[in-house]
Chains A and B, each alone.
Chain A
Amino acid sequence: MAGRKFLTISLLMLNLLSLLPLLTVSFSPDHPTDRRILVLLDDLALKSSHSIFFTSLQFRGFDLDFKLADDPSIAVKRYGQYLYDGLILFSPSTDRFGGSLDLEGVLDFVDSGHDLILAADVSASDLIRSVAAECGVDFDEDPSAMVIDHTGYSVSQIEGDHTLIAADDFVQSDVILGSTKIEAPVLFKGTGHSLNPGNSLALKVLSASSSAYAANPASKLSNPPSLTGTAVSLVSVVQARNNARIIISGSLDLFSNRLFRSAVQKVGSSYKYEKSGNEQFVTELSKWVFHERGHLKAVNLKHNKVEGTEEPSMYRINDDLEFSVEIFEWAGSSWVPYVADDVQVQFYMMSPYVLKTLSTNQKGLYHTSFKVPDAYGVFQFKVEYQRLGYTSLSLSKQIPVRPFRHNEYERFITTAFPYYGASFSMMAGFFIFSIVYLYNK
Chain B
Amino acid sequence: MAALDTPEPSTLRHAFGNVLSLFILLLIGVLAFSIRLFSVIKYESVIHEFDPYFNYRVTQFLTKNGIYDFWNWFDDRTWYPLGRVIGGTVFPGLTLTAGTLWRILNTLNIPLSVETVCVFTAPIFSAFASWATYLLTKEVKGVGAGLTAAALLAMVPSYISRSVAGSYDNEAVAIFALIFTFYLYIKALNTGSLFYATLNAIAYFYMVCSWGGYTFIINLIPMHVLLCIVTGRYSSRLYIAYAPLVVLGTLLASLVPVVGFNAVMTSEHFASFLVFIIIHVVALVYYIKGILSPQMFKVAVTLVVSIGLIVCGAVLAVLIALVASSPTKGWSGRSLSLLDPTYASKYIPIIASVSEHQPPTWPSYFMDINVLAFLVPAGIIACFLPLSDASSFAVLYIATSVYFSGVMVRLMLVLAPAACIMSGIALSEAFGVFTRSIKFQLPGVSQNSPVNVGDTGNVIQNDVVKTEKSEDSLKERPSRKNKKKEKDKTERASVVRQIEKRLLVLPLEASVIAIFLLVLLGAFYVVHCVWAAAEAYSAPSIVLTSRSHDGLHVFDDFREAYGWLRHNTEVDDKVASWWDYGYQTTAMANRTVIVDNNTWNNTHIATVGTAMSSPEKAAWEIFNSLDVKYVLVVFGGLVGYPSDDINKFLWMVRIGGGVFPHIKEPDYLRDGQYRIDSQATPTMLNCLMYKLSYYRFVETDGKGFDRVRNTEIGKKYFKLTHFEEVFTTHHWMVRIFKLKPPKNRIRGKTKKAKSKTSSKRSGTPKKNPWH
Q: Which of A136, A141, A244, A314 has the most CB of B within 10 A?
A: A136
A134 touches B83 (CB 8 A): no
Interface string of B753-771 (1 = CB under 8 A from A): 0110011001001111011
Mark out the residues of chain A between 58 and 104 whose CB falls within 8 Å of any chain B CB in the assembled complex. Answer: 95-96, 102-103
B81 touches A103 (CB 8 A): no
Q: B750 to chain A: which residues have CB within 8 Å?
A: 129-130, 133, 138-139, 141
Q: Take A376-B85, A400-B76, A406-B71 as given contacts and tell me if A102 and B747 are in contact as well, using a CB distance cutoff of 8 Å.
A: no
Q: Indicate if A232 sits at the interface (CB-CB under 8 A).
A: no
Q: B8 to chain A: which residues have CB within 8 Å?
A: none
B746 touches A199 (CB 8 A): yes
Q: A141 to chain B: which residues have CB within 8 Å?
A: 750
Residue of B nearest to A216 (CB): B770
Residue of A nearest to B257 (CB): A406
CA distance A358 to B733 in the complex (A): 49
Q: Indicate if A137 sits at the interface (CB-CB under 8 A).
A: yes
A110 touches B754 (CB 8 A): no
Residue of A nearest to B76 (CB): A400
B755 touches A241 (CB 8 A): no
A96 touches B744 (CB 8 A): no
| Closest-CB distance, B624 to chain A (whole angstroms) | 12
A136 touches B746 (CB 8 A): yes
Q: Take A216-B770, A349-B81 as given contacts and tell me if A95 and B765 are in contact as well, using a CB distance cutoff of 8 Å.
A: yes
Q: A96 to chain B: which residues have CB within 8 Å?
A: 759, 762
Among B74, B746, B758, the residue within 8 A (CB) of A126 is B758
CA distance A183 to B749 in the complex (A): 34
Q: Indicate if A402 sits at the interface (CB-CB under 8 A).
A: yes
Q: A198 to chain B: which residues have CB within 8 Å?
A: 746
Q: B68 to chain A: which residues have CB within 8 Å?
A: 406
Q: A132 to chain B: which residues have CB within 8 Å?
A: 748
Mark out the residues of chain B between 626 and 649 whose CB falls within 8 Å of any chain A CB in the assembled complex. Answer: 626
A378 touches B749 (CB 8 A): no
Q: A201 to chain B: which residues have CB within 8 Å?
A: 745-746
| Closest-CB distance, A382 to chain B (whole angstroms) | 11
Q: Indicate if B314 sits at the interface (CB-CB under 8 A).
A: no
Q: Take A202-B746, A240-B745 as given contacts and tell me if A144 and B83 are in contact as well, using a CB distance cutoff of 8 Å.
A: no
CA distance A244 to B743 in the complex (A): 13
Q: A244 to chain B: which residues have CB within 8 Å?
A: 744
B743 touches A314 (CB 8 A): no
Q: Take A103-B755, A136-B747, A137-B748 as given contacts and tell me if A403 and B762 are in contact as well, using a CB distance cutoff of 8 Å.
A: no
Q: Indicate if A111 sits at the interface (CB-CB under 8 A).
A: yes
Q: A129 to chain B: which residues have CB within 8 Å?
A: 750, 755
Interface string of A120-142 (1 = CB under 8 A from B): 00010111011011111111011
Residue of B nearest to A135 (CB): B745
B746 touches A398 (CB 8 A): no
A241 touches B758 (CB 8 A): no
CA distance A132 to B758 in the complex (A): 15
B746 touches A123 (CB 8 A): no
Q: Which of A137, A379, A406 has the most CB of B within 10 A?
A: A406
CA distance A127 to B750 in the complex (A): 12
Q: Indicate if A200 sits at the interface (CB-CB under 8 A).
A: yes
Interface string of A254-279 (1 = CB under 8 A from B): 00000000000000000000000000
B759 touches A144 (CB 8 A): no
B744 touches A240 (CB 8 A): yes
| Closest-CB distance, B752 to chain A (whole angstroms) | 7
B747 touches A133 (CB 8 A): yes
Residue of A nearest to B607 (CB): A350
Q: Which of B592, B746, B765 has the most CB of A within 10 A?
A: B746
Q: B72 to chain A: which residues have CB within 8 Å?
A: 402, 405-406
Residue of A nearest to B757 (CB): A126
| Closest-CB distance, A140 to chain B (whole angstroms) | 10
Q: B76 to chain A: which residues have CB within 8 Å?
A: 314, 377-378, 400, 402
B759 touches A135 (CB 8 A): no
Q: B745 to chain A: which residues have CB within 8 Å?
A: 107, 110-111, 134-136, 201, 238, 240-241
B80 touches A378 (CB 8 A): yes
CA distance A127 to B758 in the complex (A): 8
Residue of A nearest to B73 (CB): A402
CA distance A200 to B743 in the complex (A): 12
Q: B472 to chain A: which residues have CB within 8 Å?
A: none
CA distance A289 to B72 in the complex (A): 53
| Closest-CB distance, A242 to chain B (whole angstroms) | 5
CA distance A103 to B83 in the complex (A): 46
Q: Indicate if B625 sits at the interface (CB-CB under 8 A).
A: yes
B81 touches A102 (CB 8 A): no
Interface string of B446-459 (1 = CB under 8 A from A): 00000000000000
CA distance A127 to B757 in the complex (A): 11
A379 touches B81 (CB 8 A): yes
Q: B747 to chain A: which residues have CB within 8 Å?
A: 133-136
B755 touches A400 (CB 8 A): no
Q: Indicate if A48 sits at the interface (CB-CB under 8 A).
A: no
Q: Take A349-B81, A377-B82 as given contacts and tell me if A95 and B748 are in contact as well, using a CB distance cutoff of 8 Å.
A: no
A377 touches B759 (CB 8 A): no
CA distance A403 to B72 in the complex (A): 8
Q: B81 to chain A: which residues have CB within 8 Å?
A: 349-350, 377-380
Q: A196 to chain B: which residues have CB within 8 Å?
A: 746, 748-749
Q: A332 to chain B: which residues have CB within 8 Å?
A: none
A126 touches B754 (CB 8 A): yes
Q: Take A95-B765, A129-B750, A398-B572 as given contacts and tell me if A242 and B744 are in contact as well, using a CB distance cutoff of 8 Å.
A: yes
Q: Indicate if A178 sits at the interface (CB-CB under 8 A).
A: no
Q: Indicate if B661 sits at the interface (CB-CB under 8 A).
A: no
Q: Indicate if A219 sits at the interface (CB-CB under 8 A).
A: yes
CA distance A132 to B748 in the complex (A): 8
B768 touches A133 (CB 8 A): no
CA distance A95 to B626 in the complex (A): 44
CA distance A143 to B81 in the complex (A): 52
CA distance A198 to B747 in the complex (A): 11
CA distance A56 to B752 in the complex (A): 36
Q: B87 to chain A: which residues have CB within 8 Å?
A: 406
B71 touches A127 (CB 8 A): no
A241 touches B768 (CB 8 A): no
Interface string of B37-79 (1 = CB under 8 A from A): 0000000000000000000000000000000100110101000
Q: Indicate if B327 sits at the interface (CB-CB under 8 A).
A: no
Q: Indicate if B742 sits at the interface (CB-CB under 8 A).
A: yes
Q: Which of B87, B754, B765, B768 has the most CB of A within 10 A?
A: B768
CA distance A92 to B770 in the complex (A): 18
A144 touches B768 (CB 8 A): yes
Q: Take A216-B770, A376-B85, A378-B80 as given contacts and tell me if A130 and B746 are in contact as well, using a CB distance cutoff of 8 Å.
A: no
Residue of B nearest to A349 (CB): B81
Q: Which of B74, B765, B771 has the most CB of A within 10 A?
A: B74
Residue ranges of B at the interface with A (Cβ–Cβ < 8 Å): 68, 71-72, 74, 76, 80-83, 85, 87, 572, 592, 625-626, 741-750, 752, 754-755, 758-759, 762, 765-768, 770-771
Q: Which 4 A-B pairs have the closest CB atoms?
A: A130-B755, A400-B76, A402-B74, A133-B750
A-B contact pairs, 13 of them (CB 8 A): A127-B759, A134-B752, A136-B746, A143-B768, A196-B749, A219-B770, A377-B76, A377-B81, A377-B83, A400-B74, A402-B76, A406-B68, A406-B72
Given contacts A378-B76, A379-B81, 18 further A-B contacts (CB under 8 A): A103-B759, A130-B754, A133-B750, A141-B750, A198-B746, A199-B748, A200-B746, A241-B742, A242-B744, A244-B744, A377-B76, A378-B81, A378-B592, A400-B74, A402-B72, A402-B74, A403-B74, A406-B72
